Amino acid sequence: MKETVELLASLAQATRLEAFRRLVAAEPEGLAAGDLARALDVPQNTLSAHLAILSRAGLVDATRRGRSLIYRADVDRFRSSVAGLLEDCCGGHPERCEGRGSDLARRSEMPPVTHRPMNVLFLCTGNSARSVLAEAILRDLGGDRFRAFSAGSHPKGEIAPLAAKVLASYGHSLEGLRSKSWDEFAAPGAPAMDFVFTVCDSAAGEACPVWPGQPVTAHWGIEDPAAVEGVEIERERAFVTAYRYMKNRIAAFVALPLDRLDAVAIDRDLAAIGRLEGATAAC
């Protein structure tokens, strides 16, 4: 049952589901990683993170053909898992499940059983741009599974106007967002963090406070959009790019089956996310 849960969880994300569908359609030849990335219109390194999750669930495998890495869907694995699920759920009589689509649909509308939300802190130096973008994005993408926070080692005390503008243009609420010191989260009574991500190289090189809860840490450095000079449209474009890079990372993060990964696998996957498109040299 554990393997079936991981298999289904790996498909519970739009890009991975579409990738698997296209690989099934391409059987038995399979598809090169680059061709699949272009078909899905996603960066190849982003696709690699998704394919790693599908591979870990046993749904895809890869073989080298010349200079290309060819991915194929393990259709037999998927078919046997679904058959096993029907066997379990229908008491050994899959025919009993026929015609119950409306009943299953009603059940799917029930709220999922959730555990304590995981606390995630994003850090940069000024806490005015990148970390604020990350906090707002995770608040919306993370649903009930995560609580997002951000802070800075030397906070500027205000959110960059273009960061606020870009967030609002993508439909994110600015309520509660503020530039603040990371000392707030090392103080007694502060929420214990499960994850702490540095999103700028300078913050990654500083001596961080001792965080309550001994969180998992990783570096997801991207270029500072506030450092870009020029006319406003050029500076705004830099913030849009930073937003896109950060959203790709957070989407990959929330898709991880964190409750089923060991510490080594989590560290590996978080490091891989940090190397997605737009990573700075320190990553």
Q: Which domains does the chain have, with CATH numbers?
A: 1-110 (1.10.10.10), 118-274 (3.40.50.2300)
The reported pLDDT for the residue numbered 108 is 34
- Residue from 114, 183, 188 nearest 149 by CA: 183
The reported pLDDT for the residue numbered 162 is 97
Give dist(CA 37, CA 31) in Å, integer: 10
Task: Note the pLDDT tens digit of each residue in 234-251.
Answer: 999 999 999 999 999 999
What is the DSSP pairing of strand 195-198 with strand 216-219?
parallel
- Residue from 48, 64, 38 nearest 16 by CA: 48
Q: What is the mean pLDDT of the chain?
A: 82
Amino acid letter, 96: R
Task: Note the pLDDT tens digit of each residue in 22-81.
Answer: 888 777 788 888 888 887 778 878 888 888 888 888 888 888 887 778 888 888 888 777
- Residue 279, pLDDT > 50, answer yes
Of 9-13, 97-101, 143-147, where does mean pLDDT reach its minimum?
97-101
Of 87-91, 163-167, 189-193, 251-255, where does mean pLDDT reach its minimum?
87-91
Q: How are strands ordered across the β-sheet holding 31-32? A: 31-32, 68-73, 60-65
Residues designated catalytic: 124, 200, 208
Q: Which residue has 């959203």 as its token pair?
A: 247
CB atoms within 10 A of CB 60: 25
The reported pLDDT for the residue numbered 115 is 60
The reported pLDDT for the residue numbered 113 is 37
Give dist(CA 231, CA 44) in Å, integer: 31
Band of residue 112 on the pLDDT scale cut at 50, 70, 90: very low
Quickly list H helices, the chain.
2-10, 14-25, 33-40, 44-56, 75-89, 101-108, 130-141, 161-169, 201-205, 232-254, 263-274
- The pair of three-digit structure tokens given for residue 56, joined into one six-digit string: 């870990």
Q: Which residue has 């990371």 as its token pair?
A: 182
Query: In percent, how much of the chain has pLDDT > 90?
Result: 41
The reported pLDDT for the residue numbered 87 is 60
